Amino acid sequence: MLGSSSRGRRLPMLLILLAIVVAMAVVAIGVAFSGGGMAVAAPGTDATIEATPFSVASSKIGEEYAVCPGQQRALGGGVVQSGGFAGEVAASGPLAETKDAANTVSGDIAKRWYAAEVNGSANQQSYKVFAICSANSDATIEATPFTVEGSATGKLEDSKTGQEYAVCPPNKRALGGGVVQSGPPDALYVRASGPLAETKDAANTVSGDIAKRWYAAVTNLSKEPRNLKVFAICSANSDATIEAAAVALANGQDREEYAVCPPNKRALGGGVVQSGPPDNLYVRASGPLAETKDAANTVSGDIAKRWYAWVVNFPYGGPMVNLKVFAICSSAPPGPGPAPGPGPTPPPKVISTVPTANAKGVSPTANITATFSKDMVDSSINPTTFKLFKKGTKAKLQAAVSYSAATDKATLDPTNSLQSGATYRALVTTGAKDLAGNPLDQKHKWFFTVS
């Protein structure tokens, strides 16, 4: 009958229309999440810092972890001093849930960052180990084991250095990496640890490159061979690229340097690598820092904006070392509109000095340096704001004062050699100002004694 036949045809038509609507919705969702409509953050662009402070007694080695919360995974990390003296890095690298290098293998998810720091100073020193953690990254570990032979005497001149790479698969790029030993970190010193492009060397790895591998060099001062692993943390979906800062390090020179991410990016990892053999290079500290630029003020939840490294060219009598500090930087996550304008900025601080406070045996020809937590007004760093006195006197010594905007470091170069056995007082006054016009938080003074 006509009425019955009409109802029978209407039901299939409704089903067809419903199927079309569902199909269109699926296509729309696919387009939105593929970037055609809705902005979706690339993997790793949510990364923030987890920080764990620790202290190391004089002439001891300290170990500590920074652990990513919940389901987050580590993309990079490092260790930086909170104060004037760094020591030497014995190990710094990612570990899986197992917590040790021997059981962390390729394909694992990095859940924490391990660091071991040697404190060769006469005083207890403070450090922070940092992990850069993400909830939306696909990054996993690539691990390469290697062995560094022991020396017959256990002395520096007879020590052995091993070098190795961890290489990301062809469709992946490195976001971070490091090197960790199996067993205790005793008698190990990191000479270099950092990302490299396809070229495999630091000289040809430049800003804008994609990191494809992680390089590490470690010296073993013990008589026994030591087993280690170099780790690369590799992602198939990240947009992260390298920022590079070149450093020329004269023999016997200590140097602090930053590789800074562009304003719209954040650091996921980083490191420091030499051009040529690693024989004269030691890494005192290498790790991420927030906008504040110092470890003391970089805390959990911060966004890493730069990579800091402190390196030394030692032993004395060797050649100049050319090296690069690298930051691996990723785009910031998309947002609904421009960020709100900046609020009041904190005052700058002196975060490290050379010589350190109460140092003894300082060379009579040494320069005195002070590193600030923020970019400073060049003209505010001068002989009236950075001064040197012989203890017990009020007359400042004649000296040339300079400021490096690249490192935020002021240098005082005395006109005459310092007196052997004498104690001196260095002073930075509140006349030193940052680029926002804020004066130094307080005058900073310290003493040291000449050998």
CATH code where residue 431 lies = 2.60.40.1220
Residue position matching structure tokens 């087993």: 227
The pTM (predicted TM-score) of the whole model is 0.68
Looking at the structure, do residues 442 and 322 belong to the same domain, yes or no?
A: no
Looking at the chain, the whole-number percentage of residues with pLDDT higher than 70 is 86
Q: Into how many domains does the chain fold?
A: 2
Looking at the structure, do residues 70 and 165 belong to the same domain, yes or no?
A: yes
Residue 140: pLDDT band (50, 70, 90) is very high
Q: Letter for the amino acid at 287?
A: G
* 12 within some domain: no
Q: What's the burial of 66, exposed, middle or buried (CB within 10 Å: 0-12/13-18/19+)?
A: buried
* 435 within some domain: yes
* 427 within some domain: yes
CA distances to 354, 383, 408 from 423, in Å: 14, 20, 26
Query: Per residue in 340-366, is it b (16+ CB within 10 Å) or e — as a string?
Result: eeeeeeebbbbbbbbbbeebeebeeeb
Looking at the structure, do residues 89 and 232 belong to the same domain, yes or no?
A: yes
pLDDT confidence of residue 28: 37
CB 66 within 8 A of CB 161: no
pLDDT confidence of residue 391: 93
Residue 215 tokens, joined: 């390089």
Q: Letter for the amino acid at 143?
A: A
Q: Letter for the amino acid at 108?
A: D
Q: Which residues lie below 8 Å from residue 361, measured CB to CB, with a gap of 6+?
A: 449, 451
Looking at the structure, do residues 280 and 365 belong to the same domain, yes or no?
A: no
Mean pLDDT rounded to a whole number for the chain: 86
Looking at the structure, do residues 309 and 368 belong to the same domain, yes or no?
A: no
Q: How far is Cα 349 from Cα 134, in angstroms, rounded to an integer?
A: 30
* 399 within some domain: yes
Q: How far is Cα 367 from Cα 417, in angstroms, rounded to an integer?
A: 10
Number of H helices, E strands in the chain: 1, 26
What letter would DSSP give residue 137?
-
Nearest C-alpha neighbor of 451 from the set 384, 377, 361, 342: 361
C-alpha radius of gyration, the chain, whole number: 26
Query: Domain end: 303, 331, 359, which one?
Result: 331
Q: Letter for the amino acid at 437?
A: G
The 10s digit of each residue's pLDDT in 436-451 is 888 998 999 999 999 9
Alpha helices by DSSP H, listed for 277-435, are none
Contacts 24+ apart (CB under 8 A), 19-22: none
Query: Domain end: 304, 331, 358, which one?
Result: 331
Residue 202: pLDDT band (50, 70, 90) is very high
Q: Would you put residue 155 in left (φ > 0), alpha (ψ -120 to 50) or beta?
A: beta
Residue 121: pLDDT band (50, 70, 90) is confident
* 76 within some domain: yes
Q: How far is Cα 378 from Cα 251, in angstroms, rounded to an integer?
A: 27
**Better pLDDT: 79 or 99:** 79
CB 298 within 8 A of CB 181: no
Other C-beta atoms within 10 Å of 167: how many?
19
Looking at the structure, do residues 388 and 316 belong to the same domain, yes or no?
A: no
**Better pLDDT: 360 or 315:** 360
**Better pLDDT: 157 or 232:** 232
* 294 within some domain: yes
pLDDT confidence of residue 83: 74
Nearest C-alpha neighbor of 79 from the set 125, 115, 118, 50: 115
Q: Letter for the amino acid at 198?
A: E
Find how far residue 61's CA is from the centre of its chain: 20
Looking at the structure, do residues 121 and 76 belong to the same domain, yes or no?
A: yes
* 18 within some domain: no
Looking at the structure, do residues 371 and 308 belong to the same domain, yes or no?
A: no
Looking at the structure, do residues 235 and 377 belong to the same domain, yes or no?
A: no
* 74 within some domain: yes
Q: Would you put residue 392 in left (φ > 0), alpha (ψ -120 to 50) or beta?
A: left
CB 311 within 8 A of CB 249: yes
For 301, the domain range is 48-331
Other C-beta atoms within 10 Å of 177: how many?
36
Query: Domain end: 271, 297, 331, which one?
Result: 331
Looking at the structure, do residues 205 and 176 belong to the same domain, yes or no?
A: yes
Looking at the structure, do residues 274 and 359 belong to the same domain, yes or no?
A: no
What letter would DSSP give residue 333?
P
What average pLDDT does this structure show over 321-326?
A: 94
The beta-strand segments (E) located in 301-398 are 306-313, 321-331, 350-354, 359-362, 368-372, 386-390
Looking at the structure, do residues 196 and 308 belong to the same domain, yes or no?
A: yes
pLDDT confidence of residue 15: 41
Q: How far is Cα 161 from Cα 277, in angstroms, rounded to an integer?
A: 10
Q: How far is Cα 232 from Cα 143, in angstroms, rounded to an integer?
A: 7
Residue 21: pLDDT band (50, 70, 90) is very low
What average pLDDT does this structure show over 70-92?
A: 90
